[in-house]
Each structure stands twice: as structure tokens, then as C-alpha cells.
Amino acid sequence: MAMYEHFFGLQREPFSIAPDPRFLFMSERHREALAHLLFGLQTGGGFVLLTGEVGAGKTTVSRAFLEHMPQNCHVAYVLNPKQTTAELLATICAEFHIPKKRGRTIKGHIDALNDHLLATHAAGENNVLIVDEAQNLSAEVLEQLRLLTNLETQERKLLQIILIGQPELRTLLAQPHLEQLSQRVIARYHLQALSAQETTSYVAHRMAVAGLASAVPFDAGALKRIHALTQGVPRRINVLCDRVLLGAWAAGRSSADTRMVEAAWREISGVEASAAAWWRAGAWRVALLVLAAGLVGIGLGAGLLTWWSQSPWGAGR
């Protein structure tokens, strides 16, 4: 719990970076992202691709997507994609609650997964695999995921795969050796950062969800500066606003201005710390040498000027 919550009349922390669906701000971009995920779920089979910059809100959208998931849908959620093919298949089986079997090979994992998919399909149930941070998947693992989409009946694919990742994922899938996988992407969406107006609405939304009953404790200049510094990336907004409110609470201020936003940004971005580290690392010696050289230069210049003015060439001029 943040120290400033009681001061601002809040019931919970408004700017946590945890992907809490309660705080999901449904901008037009976020609504489109969620719509693409739901479309992929209804279509069945193939890949759905959701990309965006770090902190853009991809994971939060995916958590909201899970809340819209039908009860007859089984979900396997892979958070750590840096695994070998065998490790990933074992993780998928574990997520689908397929009984473990010691010494199971890659083929054994696939056979067990196929049996599970067929059994749940016969019961009228669906299966979705969500892979977060998918830009870290190796080419070998991606190829295995493509092969998993071959598990099917005569009517439909048995497994829907959703890949969530940073922009590098789009570059990865554009490589020629992954063309077959790329052709199986039935929906793709790139989540952009918030506009200035959306940033203001985003801050107000999170404060309201946290229980704020009065005006947002940021003046217009502060909100404008928050957007400029964070470039509309929600995670950056959260970190900055949290530090600004902490500073306002410490100063006993009910509203934050641009100066307080700037001070908070310097603190969280490490500008002051970097300057201090630079100085402690010995840069002060370089600065003193430059200053000394300047002073010596001034002294030499003054000496030459005096000599010239007293010389036969300079005296008569």
C-alpha cells in the first residue's frame, strides 16, 4: 500500500505496475487489441499476434481477455518462453493439467497433448495457448508451435495459439524461414502508446478506480508534461505518477504541478544519480584539468598582451 493513499482519499494503490484488469483503460487502441484476441478465439485454429512496446499494456489486455474467456475453454499460459522444445512442451502439458509421465519424449508430449485436445473437443471444449514475451522464442520452438497447429480433426483445428511480444516479434516472424508460420497468423495487432488526451483520461481513470472522489491531483501543466516525458507508455506513466504523488504527499500538497513532475522524473530516470556517479568516478579530475588549462590560457594571453604593448612594435600603435 502506498503511503499517500489515505492523504488523497484512495482505497488502493492507483499506479501499480501489476497487470490488474480492474485498472485496464480501454482506449480505442486497447479495445481494438482485445477485439483481435476475441476474434481469434472465435475463429479457432492458427495464430493470433499481439505486439507493442515495453509497458504499452499488452499483458494487461491479455488478462482482460482471460476474463472474457468462455467457461468451456482451457487455457495454457506460458510466461517464460526461453525454453527448449522439450521444456516448452512439458510446460504446455502442465498448464493443461495433463498428467506427468517420467521420461516422456518430445513425441510423448505431443501425443499426450493430442489426446487431451481430442478428448476436450469431443466434450465441446476449446483450448488456447498464450505465450507471453514471445519475441524470446527460438526459431526451433516457433517451428514446433507451428506443428502444433496441425493437430486437428476433419472439421477444425484443435489448438488456438496467441503470441504476445515486443516489436521484435514482428521482425522475427518476417524472416523467410518462418514464412509458413507467418501465413497461419489469422489476426495481428500492434498496440500503440497513448495520445496526450488519452494520457489525461488514463490518469483520471486509474485514480477513479483507486477510489478518488475529488478532482485529479495533477494540474493541466503537470498532465501535459507527464505525457511528454513518458511518451504515452502506460507503465512509464504509472511509475512517474506514483513518484509524483509520493512527493506531493511528502510536501503536503493536494495537487502536483510541472515542477514536481520534473523533479520526480529526474529521480526515477536516474539523471541525478548518474551525475553523482560520474563525479565520484573521477570526472572531477578532468573538470579541474580543463579549468586549469583555461586559467593557464588566460594567463598566457594576458602576458603576451603586456609584452606586445611594451615592445617597440606595439608601443607606437
Which has the higher per-residue pLDDT, 302 or 45?
A: 45
CATH number at residue 247: 1.10.8
Q: Per-residue pLDDT for 316 more than 70?
A: no
- The pLDDT value given to residue 180: 92
Q: Per-residue pLDDT for 21 more than 50?
A: yes
Query: Looking up cell 501535459, which residue turns up?
Result: 224
In a domain, 124, yes or no: yes
Residues 63 and 162 grouped into a single domain: yes
Share of the chain above pLDDT 70, in %: 84
- Give the end-to-end CA distance of the chain in Å, rounded to a whole number: 79
Residues 169 and 289 grouped into a single domain: no
Residues 241 and 114 grouped into a single domain: no
| 284, three cell numbers | 572531477
The C-alpha atoms of residue 45 and residue 150 are separated, in whole angstroms, by 9
In a domain, 123, yes or no: yes
CATH number at residue 72: 3.40.50.300
Residues 76 and 86 grouped into a single domain: yes
- The pLDDT value given to residue 241: 97
The pLDDT mean for the chain works out to: 86
- The pLDDT value given to residue 284: 46
Q: Per-residue pLDDT for 296 more than 60?
A: no
The C-alpha atoms of residue 294 and residue 116 are separated, in whole angstroms, by 78
Amino acid at 201: S
In a domain, 317, yes or no: no
Residues 164 and 33 grouped into a single domain: yes
Residues 210 and 293 grouped into a single domain: no
What's the burial of 251, exposed, middle or buried (CB within 10 Å: 0-12/13-18/19+)?
exposed
The model's pLDDT over 243-290, given as tens digits with 9 standing for 90+, comes to 999 999 999 999 999 999 999 999 998 754 444 444 444 544 444 444
Q: Per-residue pLDDT for 306 more than 80?
A: no
Which of 143, 176, 191 delimits the end of a domain? 191
Average pLDDT score over residue span 117-134: 94
- The pLDDT value given to residue 100: 86
Please work out, in degrees rounded to the nearest 5, the angle formed at the alpha carbon of residue 58 by the alpha carbons of 39 and 70.
40
The model's pLDDT over 48-66, given as tens digits with 9 standing for 90+, comes to 999 999 989 898 888 889 8
Residues 174 and 227 grouped into a single domain: no
In a domain, 6, yes or no: no
Which has the higher per-residue pLDDT, 256 or 154?
A: 256
Residues 104 and 222 grouped into a single domain: no
Distance of CA 307 to the CA centre of its chain: 67
Residues 57 and 183 grouped into a single domain: yes
How many separate domains does the chain show?
3
pTM: 0.77
Specify the pairing of strand 126-131 against strand 73-78.
parallel
In a domain, 312, yes or no: no
Q: How confident is the model at residue 156 (pLDDT cuts 50, 70, 90)?
A: confident
In a domain, 23, yes or no: no
Share of the chain above pLDDT 90, in %: 65
Domain around 297? 271-307
In a domain, 115, yes or no: yes
The C-alpha atoms of residue 21 and residue 115 are separated, in whole angstroms, by 33
Who contacts 168 (Cβ-Cβ below 8 Å, separation ≥6)?
135
Residues 39 and 136 grouped into a single domain: yes
Residues 213 and 85 grouped into a single domain: no
In a domain, 67, yes or no: yes
Radius of gyration of the chain (CA): 29
Q: Per-residue pLDDT for 200 more than 80?
A: yes
Residues 254 and 303 grouped into a single domain: no
The model's pLDDT over 103-122, given as tens digits with 9 standing for 90+, comes to 789 999 999 999 999 999 99
**Neighbouring C-beta atoms of residue 81, cutoff 10 Å:** 21
Q: How confident is the model at residue 312 (pLDDT cuts 50, 70, 90)?
A: low
3-state secondary structure of 183: coil
Angle between helix 258-269 and 271-278 (nearest 10): 50
Q: Which helix (H) or strand (E) holds 182?
A: helix 179-182
Give the residue from 190, 191, 198 showing the smallest Cα distance to 237.
198
Q: Per-residue pLDDT for 231 more than 50?
A: yes
